[in-house]
Amino acid sequence: MGRNLPLITPFKLGKFSLSHRVVLAPMSRDRSFHGVPQEHAILYYSQRTSLGGLLISEATKVTDSAQRYPHSPGIWSEEQVEAWKPIVDAVHEKGGIFFCQLWHVGRQSHYNFRSGDPIPSFSLSQPNSVDVAELSIASRLKTDEIPLAVEDFRLAARNAINAGFDGVEVHAAYGLIDQFLKDHVNYRDDEYGGTLENRCRFAMQVLEAVVDEVGADRVGIRLSPYGHYGGAGDSNPEALATFMAESLNRHSILYCHAIEPRTKRTMEEKGGVMRGLLPMRQAFTGTFIAAGGYDCDDGNKAVEESYADLIAYGKLFLANPDLPRRFELGAPLNMYDRATFYIPDPDIGYTDYPFLDY
């Protein structure tokens, strides 16, 4: 008999009925050759599907200029749409709800993926930036080019729905959108730089385009206001977090998915669930998903105390395809192997993690 756990309770996510609150977090897996999802992804996602469970796909590129990793999937071409269809079907056959995460990496892309063409970005790269120097020098998007980037997201959202996905998650936690949001890397002097409103303008334009294309009830967004990925940090992340949350409310999107500003060290010092996202949670009026280092206990605590509605799990779900069941039974967890996170093998570190045998 299962335990009575807040994580293993039903939740109504808009028109979707979830049987539990354990979400498969989006995780890059680097196994989509030439940008096209492969057949082995059918088994991978199917393994992690439970009846009434929410899955968010790995970061999926909205255009060929958005590549950061050599074997990450895209959703900009008909070939990619067709390749996603059997993967989505496999999730639906097991009663899962599947959202496609839409991503443009911005200045984190690499020349090798575009035959030497400049990488479109929010701004010119910061001088002496090691992160960027190891990749490529970005070509600043001109103000009149930004609508083209917005259209890339719109088309990708349309393609995702055509592939059968139940909805889309705009990836604004890392990459191009995040680089517009953060004042440590956004040096623009037009209407997309400077003030909070200006720095958030591109994110909101993308969101508006995607909502217009597929409907607010099919749209979520992932944010990391406290993150520093690729050098993209902010001088006042709490102000950014609350401003974005309040802006999202105007569009009544399905959910906001945010990454905790915490580390293992701070967790050990303070214990339990850090409340770093609390101002954002309080400002946002829709469904709130928290992610970042959660285990079963602090996930239960977060849900029980209404700190979050749902909890997204990455590494633990990667290594435990039946994670919700293990949580319910209090069963031991498989250990994940970091060395196999991003290798292109279609089985090792991908579909070979064992299930419970009871």
The pLDDT tens digits of the residues spanning 344-354 come to 999 999 999 99
Is the pLDDT score of 89 beyond 80? Answer: yes
Strand pairing category for 219-223 and 167-172:
parallel
Q: Which CATH architecture has domain 9-291+301-313?
A: Alpha-Beta Barrel (3.20)
Task: Give percent of the chain above pLDDT 70.
Answer: 85
Mean pLDDT of the residues in the chain: 89
DSSP, residue by residue, 136-158:
-PEEEPPGGGHHHHHHHHHHHHH
Task: For residue 110, name the pLDDT band (cuts at 50, 70, 90).
Answer: low
Closest C-alpha to 35, from 56, 61, 15: 61
Q: Can you give the pLDDT at residue 106?
A: 83
Closest C-alpha to 323, from 20, 108, 107, 110: 20
Task: Give percent of the chain above pLDDT 90.
Answer: 80
Q: Can you give the pLDDT at residue 230?
A: 81
The pLDDT tens digits of the residues spanning 191-249 come to 999 999 999 999 999 999 999 999 999 999 999 999 988 889 999 999 999 999 999 99
The pLDDT tens digits of the residues spanning 156-190 come to 999 999 999 999 999 999 999 999 999 999 999 99
Any bridge partners for residue 223, and if so which? 172, 258
Please give the Cα distance from 181 to 170 (Å, whole number): 14
The pLDDT tens digits of the residues spanning 127-136 come to 333 343 344 4
Q: Can you give the pLDDT at residue 65?
A: 80
Is the pLDDT score of 155 beyond 50? Answer: yes
